[in-house]
Structure 1
């Protein structure tokens, strides 16, 4: 008889809050989401797990030796510069810690149905190079480690960030035990890679159209793939007020998106790690609210 799992676990480390100056990536959002959790009477009692930095041998499950050497040497090269982020010791530490956080979140799925990591979702990073605000691909590394520890188990990536999860698509392209699903704006960064299922969206896609496509896609996936573990890349950037995108999801639509994924995960019986990924709302607090709402959706019985 399978043991009864607790509803939701949380993972966070204060060192995720990188100093990026005026950079468009709002790294201070992690602290703000954490603050909202601690102020919420229903969530404040949850134990928040603090990760250790990932080990270099785990990073090497996905990333090449040459890339990791450049990264840890703080060298701006063709392997590191496409991150479009500064390259400092503190920032690299934050990314290594975030990988550790997603590894810890994955391990905690032995205890919880859902684990929300208040950090991570850096889905553009490639095996041999950084890309798009992403130095290290935390979910791909955690997924590879999970496969190593649980041979034959199946992993599903549900990527609902504004941008295609191109890094995960590349890492797992030839792996029959991993299915990558990405629903993203079409005419936008990055250069598109082949996922298990890609749903490109036109500018102006609203709640109704988006949610219909999401439900249809998940039903298709469920008919052909039975995941043991899900990584849900729950980007806040499909929001109508996002500064980098042209999708038109409302707060209500994004909550409904999260509920659809939650109910899908419960129906499949898969353990689920949720990652915040991107979010660039014109009003910074909207991004924070969207991530916080995702936690509330998954915490609700």
Structure 2
């Protein structure tokens, strides 16, 4: 069974200028249920995240500041959101969902979080709409409990996974692979274990050929026993922030390649949705929905 993390708190209200594309967190599960890709029984509400799970990745001082909403104006601007208790609770819930997805992936082969992919959160600071790093927290959870020995992060959001790279810069058991737009945010890139920068306007054929080449090499080089897939759909040509040139079909093929390779190698995989900022929300929903359709096609 495909288990999908979702909670009404994912739809936490924000001031009007911050609401788009937050609507996707409400609309995506409705779309997936309406079309029959999933049923309500596939959804689960995340448990509470423990302080120890957070502190295994993030600094105690940063977590204290986050709980107290003690951000300077500059720190709040860097985070991208007006900080509130509701927003922190939302982020904590999303991160717990990715941990539980990891447990379900060990059981079923794959699990997915309607949100997550908060790859810009650093050990000690928030950036780019990311307060806590769900992929890092779930990875550390698996390693600490010896449920995984070698983790591969496949980050295909259009923006480099700079926070994840920083968090795991000295952790040999996590290999960070980020394929992103060369001239996109963040201006200052961190050093992942493998960074592939793509030129503005890169289209389906070049993108998929490049991804296929590196993914197959990484299967042999890294030999992972768990994969976290950041499946942001801001790679679309229609994306306001993306600068790449993928079609919706190209984005679907991207997802198919990653997920089918995990299935072929019998490696549990968790997918977090990441970014998507196309002007027409239908493009965002269709691209995200394809990730779930592909998972059902390959696994179930």
Which interval holds the TM-score relative to the shorter structure? over 0.9
Q: How far 1:44 sits from its partner (Å)?
A: 2.1
Q: Over residues 156-215 of structure 1, what are the superposed CA-to-partner deviations in whole Å (9 max), with x where a residue is unaligned?
A: 000000100111111111211111110000111112111111110000100000000000
Pairing 1:167-186 to 2, within 5 Å after superposition? 167-186=163-182
Which of 9, 23, 29 aligns to 1:28? It is: 23
Contact 1:207/1:250 (CA < 8 Å) preserved in 2?
yes
Aligned residue for 2:269, secondary structure, equals strand
Name the CA shift for 1:41/1:84 in 2 (closer, same or farther; >3 Å): closer
Which of 39, 58, 61 aligns to 1:66? It is: 61
For 2:5, the equivalent position in structure 1 comes to 11
Q: If the length of structure 2 is used for normalisation, what is the TM-score? A: 0.94
Aligned residue for 2:141, secondary structure, equals helix
For 2:34, the equivalent position in structure 1 comes to 39
Name the CA shift for 1:279/1:42 in 2 (closer, same or farther; >3 Å): closer
Aligned residue for 1:19, secondary structure, equals coil
Gaps of 5+ in 1: 1-5
Name the CA shift for 1:47/1:166 in 2 (closer, same or farther; >3 Å): same
Does 1:155 find its partner at 2:151?
Answer: yes
For 2:122, the equivalent position in structure 1 comes to 126
- Cα distance in 1 between the residues matched to 2:148 and 2:134: 21
Does 1:111 find its partner at 2:110?
Answer: no
- Cα distance in 1 between the residues matched to 2:107 and 2:40: 17
- Cα distance in 2 between the residues matched to 1:17 and 1:27: 7
Does 1:87 find its partner at 2:100?
Answer: no
Contact 1:18/1:28 (CA < 8 Å) preserved in 2?
no
Does 1:296 find its partner at 2:290?
Answer: no
Question: If each structure's helix is expressed as a fraction of its own residues, which one has the higher value?
Answer: 2
Q: If the length of structure 1 is used for normalisation, what is the TM-score? A: 0.94
Contact 2:184/2:243 (CA < 8 Å) preserved in 1?
no
